[in-house]
Structure 1
Amino acid sequence: MANNSSLILYFSRNRGLVKTFFFIPTTLALLSTLFILFYISTTSHLFFNHHQRHHQHKLTPFILKNNPLPPPLKSSPVLVSLLNVSNNSHGDGRVRNQRSVNVPMEANGNSVNKEVFHDRDIFLEDYKQMNRSFRVYVYPHRRNDPFANVLLPVDFEPRGNYASESYFKKVFMKSHFVTKDPSKADLFFLPFSIARMRHDRRIGTEGIPDFISHYIFNISQKYPYWNRTGGADHFYVACHSIGRSAMEKAWEVKLNAIQVVCSSSYFISGHIAHKDVSLPQIWPRQEDPPKLGSSKRNKLAFFAGAVNSPVREKLLQVWRNDSEIYAHSGRLKTPYADGLLGSKFCLHVKGFEVNTARIADSLYYGCVPVIIANHYDLPFADILNWKSFSIVVATLDIPLLKKILKGISSEEYLLLQNNVLKVRKHFQWHVFPSDYDAFYMVMYDLWLRRSSVRVQWSTSLDSNW
């Protein structure tokens, strides 16, 4: 007891010492925290660049959602890339050349990014490698197969709103990417056609899930390729929105296989952006695109289409009678092409799905697309910088549409439209594919998603089915 009293008496006479005793560790903790924050702030760019280089070939797609993007008003340049990082290497030790880019400056001093690729040098180099080495094995089917119409390419030129699916398979099956040797394959193609099944009376819309489930069971029993990866190195292609429900009885396809689909939305549980590919929905046109400039575009914005979603209802409700934004429902009295050619901006507005052919229509006619479709995983977004040739507007900002579009300066618009003319070749199908067209861009997206692990097998297999 005496010792305790002595201790209390000692500290009562030395209150300054007590304060110092508690102040020192607090001060040290504060200094340590400040030092850590300073270190992070001065080296964070190193970590970010390392992350960027590390994932360049592991595929970290450029995710472009609508909601988090600020309205592209004049004070916030619409052409600034969300992913504008200057990397000095490919991630595999190869150093690329530093090239100076003449970037115009706005009045407020902010630079305007006019590059349509996230990294053009890497894309061009990897594109060549893809063309040389990428190989895909297709499960073989004969002409006398009972469902040859579903499994083999169409024998006519694809047409209509969902032609992308048929175009891809028709062109792909004649390409140099196909290999008959599965040991050399990077990926495996599941050649069933969702669109053809939909029109086959033996299958129909309701029977698609059963057909696919049986198909996967058959190939897993006859071939070892599906089983060795659980389908992770397999892919299929579908453009019609019915493809969303096609895998209801084959969840391993939805979860493991690469889905190359038009209805690619972050909002849909079955779509996984880092795994799946956004297929551009393109209305097929064989003639060369027009070469009109912006001087003949008298309307500010244009939309025409069925009112089949709350988003389109809202657009029509706000802008139906506007003199500068032409928003029309039902059949047009003038040619659809005239509306695209006579407008500075063309509106892509979500209908039943996030995707329509209107983006490709806009690009074809040299009109800057305005995307009003939340959670749309835009085609080729891991390759192309969509902020350099399009405007993204959140659906909630439809009442602000005119303010947003008029807030874009003449210089910004000219850059946008110039980039539209640069990228539109990537959104065209050809019976005989042309370098960098839609077919090659989809193949590049698939090449990015190929597995880096090759599984060897020695069993000799019968490739006829």
Structure 2
Amino acid sequence: MLPLFASVLLGLFSNFKKGQCLPLNHPKQMAHPSMLLHRHLASLPSNTFFFLPATLALFTTLFILFYIFTTPSLFISHQHKHNLKYPLGPSQSSPLTPILPSNGSFHLSAKFPFNDVFGGEDGTVNPVSSRSHFGSKGNSMNDTDVFRDGDIFLEDYQQMNRSFKIYVYPHRRDDPFAHAFLPVDFEPGGNYASESYFKKALMNSHFITEDPRKADLFFLPFSIARLRHDRRVGGGGIQSFIRDYISNISTKYPYWNRTGGADHFYVACHSIGRSAMAKAEEVKLNAIQIVCSSSYFLPGYVAHKDASLPQVWPRTDDPPTITTSERKKLAFFAGAINSPVREKLVKFWRNDSEIYAHFGRLKTPYADELLGSKFCLHVKGFEVNTARIADSLYYGCVPIILANYYDLPFADILNWKSFSIAVVTVDIPLLKKILRGITSDEYSSLRGHVLKHQ
């Protein structure tokens, strides 16, 4: 199957194919707000990266970048002719986190989630309820396919594979910050490994060109995660570092200035990436941000220009196998209480016999808890993203997403309704009722699609 890197790359390619670059605040850009819609994100398995291959994320992100770059109203400088087909109309692109109201059929909101409808980030202002993916009579709403349109995805991927090129700003190995600019020479690990995996897979791919005249997009190779741990920079110095870096490349090379950075992109998985561009406003407004912290609620993420990267904790072993009958718990969560959403979850379900909501250190192995649960809860912490969706899929547990405004990774091509359930956070007190309302057939369908993503 295609690498994870391919899914991200494919979305970039789709955006690129429609035209040439204009900055986000250009008059023409403002006249066409739908031009930044990105598509064609996917996940395809491999043996070296959690539930999706390490390289699959890179491909999809790059494809999103490609699609963004080719939107006609966005680009005016260099013309690229790509004829691809699209399965979704503009209004369907990059849907919001699915909302599950408690009395009706599952739906995806086609509008931006305004506060007066859904309340604040913790979802506690207005009583918008959740419902299951299935209709009130248990009908599956025909949401049985893992992909929205796999054939069109593969067709676009094949064309991207032939023509898409990316130029990476060069840095020598003796550069004082080579560790932040160059790909790592080891297998990435830890909570923010997606960022390193993306860069490593991209730099080893055939999409790289050493001739910037042939480039469709330009990659800014700095690593937010590695700069954060560099004592010379640290979290407090990243904003100035990025500002100076953009100033340097815009002086040394002509490529940034000709589009205002609209055909440039960078990757960041740590949440500090959202504020890293505070002193380089043109990066946030114009460049494509491939980030794990993809929340519609926060101003640092520009919906339909930027793209969501899945956060994963890498695992190289084959996923463990366990039958549904061996999963005795209804639902499980463990984590720090670092948000109102988690605080509310633990308050309601801490002492429940079916929903296990833990904070602090577990007495049993984390993997055993995931393997013993039918549903595994992804609950917003500091940010909407965590590695828990990837953990759930790896251990064959159906993800329950409690994170309002989360722009889910690969949402334009992955049918998230087929293998996960999203619950608005205001409905945390109804969580057991929602999960118990899922029939055994519906659960078997959800879990069967989970296994396809391992």
Alpha-carbon distance in structure 2 between the residues aligned to 1:200 and 1:343: 39
Alpha-carbon distance in structure 2 between the residues aligned to 1:196 and 1:108: 48
Q: 1:109 to 1:215 in 2, by over 3 A?
A: closer
Q: 1:205 to 1:372 in 2, by over 3 A?
A: same
Residue aligning to 1:196: 226
Q: 1:192 to 1:106 in 2, by over 3 A?
A: same
**Number of residues of Structure 1 aligned to a counterpart in Structure 2:** 347
Matched, 1:70 2:101: yes
Per-residue Cα deviation, 1:11-60 (whole angstroms, up to 9, x for no partner): xxxxxxxxxxxxxxxxxxxxxxxxxxxxxxxxxxxxxxxxxx87859796
The 3-state SS of whatever aligns with 2:453 is helix
The answer to whether the Cα contact below 8 Å between 1:61 and 1:273 also exists between their aligned partners in 2 is no
Alpha-carbon distance in structure 2 between the residues aligned to 1:345 and 1:231: 42
Q: 1:401 to 1:57 in 2, by over 3 A?
A: closer
Map residues 255-334 of structure 1 onto 2, 5 A cutoff: 255-334=285-364
Q: 1:354 to 1:132 in 2, by over 3 A?
A: same
Alpha-carbon distance in structure 2 between the residues aligned to 1:225 and 1:162: 29
Residue aligning to 1:146: 176
Matched, 1:359 2:392: no
Residue aligning to 1:439: none
Alpha-carbon distance in structure 2 between the residues aligned to 1:107 and 1:319: 27
Per-residue Cα deviation, 1:173-220 (whole angstroms, up to 9, x for no partner): 111111111122111100000011111111111110111001101111
Matched, 1:61 2:93: yes
Aligned-partner residue type, residue 97 of structure 2: K
Over the residues paired in the alignment, what is the CA RMSD in angstroms?
2.2
Residue aligning to 1:412: 442
Shift of 1:293: 2.8
Per-residue Cα deviation, 1:415-445 (whole angstroms, up to 9, x for no partner): 1111111123xxxxxxxxxxxxxxxxxxxxx
The 3-state SS of whatever aligns with 1:231 is coil
Q: 1:299 to 1:318 in 2, by over 3 A?
A: same
Alpha-carbon distance in structure 1 between the residues aligned to 2:362 and 2:246: 45
Counterpart of 2:245 (choices 200, 215, 235) is 215
Counterpart of 1:164 (choices 182, 194, 198) is 194
The answer to whether the Cα contact below 8 Å between 1:138 and 1:178 also exists between their aligned partners in 2 is yes
The answer to whether the Cα contact below 8 Å between 2:167 and 2:210 also exists between their aligned partners in 1 is yes
The 3-state SS of whatever aligns with 2:357 is strand
Residue aligning to 2:235: 205
Residue aligning to 1:114: 144
Q: 1:285 to 1:108 in 2, by over 3 A?
A: closer
Shift of 1:82: 7.6
The answer to whether the Cα contact below 8 Å between 2:95 and 2:109 also exists between their aligned partners in 1 is no
Q: 1:54 to 1:247 in 2, by over 3 A?
A: same
Per-residue Cα deviation, 1:53-107 (whole angstroms, up to 9, x for no partner): 87859796231235x5423x6x63x5x7889xxxxxxxxxxxxxxxxxxxx9996
**Which 5+ residue runs of structure 2 have no aligned equivalent?**
1-84, 111-133
Shift of 1:112: 3.5
Shift of 1:154: 1.6
Q: 1:65 to 1:144 in 2, by over 3 A?
A: same
Shift of 1:118: 1.6
The answer to whether the Cα contact below 8 Å between 2:275 and 2:300 also exists between their aligned partners in 1 is no
The 3-state SS of whatever aligns with 2:429 is helix
Q: 1:334 to 1:373 in 2, by over 3 A?
A: same
The answer to whether the Cα contact below 8 Å between 2:337 and 2:343 also exists between their aligned partners in 1 is yes
Aligned-partner residue type, residue 161 of structure 1: N
Shift of 1:374: 0.7
The 3-state SS of whatever aligns with 1:376 is coil
Alpha-carbon distance in structure 2 between the residues aligned to 1:259 and 1:201: 25
Per-residue Cα deviation, 1:387-411 (whole angstroms, up to 9, x for no partner): 1110000110000000000111111
Q: 1:110 to 1:208 in 2, by over 3 A?
A: closer
Alpha-carbon distance in structure 1 between the residues aligned to 2:317 and 2:353: 32
Q: By percentage of residues, which structure has more helix? A: 1
Aligned-partner residue type, residue 233 of structure 2: I
Structure showing greater Rg: 1
The 3-state SS of whatever aligns with 2:386 is coil
The answer to whether the Cα contact below 8 Å between 2:138 and 2:439 also exists between their aligned partners in 1 is no
Counterpart of 2:419 (choices 389, 412, 435) is 389
Alpha-carbon distance in structure 2 between the residues aligned to 1:109 and 1:367: 22
Map residues 29-68 of structure 1 onto 2, 5 A cutoff: 56=88, 61-65=93-97, 68=99
Counterpart of 2:268 (choices 238, 242, 246) is 238
Matched, 1:130 2:156: no
Q: 1:413 to 1:81 in 2, by over 3 A?
A: farther
**Which 5+ residue runs of structure 1 have no aligned equivalent?**
1-52, 84-103, 425-465
Matched, 1:338 2:336: no
Residue aligning to 1:379: 409
TM-score relative to the length of structure 1 = 0.71
The 3-state SS of whatever aligns with 2:383 is coil
Aligned-partner residue type, residue 284 of structure 1: P
Alpha-carbon distance in structure 2 between the residues aligned to 1:70 and 1:369: 17
Residue aligning to 1:174: 204
Aligned-partner residue type, residue 421 of structure 1: L
Shift of 1:156: 2.0
Give 4+ residue runs of structure 1 displaced > 3 Å after superposition: 53-60, 80-83, 104-112
Counterpart of 1:401 (choices 428, 431, 434) is 431
Aligned-partner residue type, residue 297 of structure 1: R
Alpha-carbon distance in structure 2 between the residues aligned to 1:112 and 1:59: 20
The answer to whether the Cα contact below 8 Å between 2:327 and 2:372 also exists between their aligned partners in 1 is yes
Aligned-partner residue type, residue 70 of structure 1: P
Per-residue Cα deviation, 1:315-342 (whole angstroms, up to 9, x for no partner): 0000000000011111111110011111
Shift of 1:244: 1.1
The 3-state SS of whatever aligns with 1:402 is helix
Residue aligning to 1:184: 214
Alpha-carbon distance in structure 1 between the residues aligned to 2:422 and 2:374: 15
Aligned-partner residue type, residue 343 of structure 2: E
The answer to whether the Cα contact below 8 Å between 1:59 and 1:274 also exists between their aligned partners in 2 is no
Aligned-partner residue type, residue 237 of structure 2: G
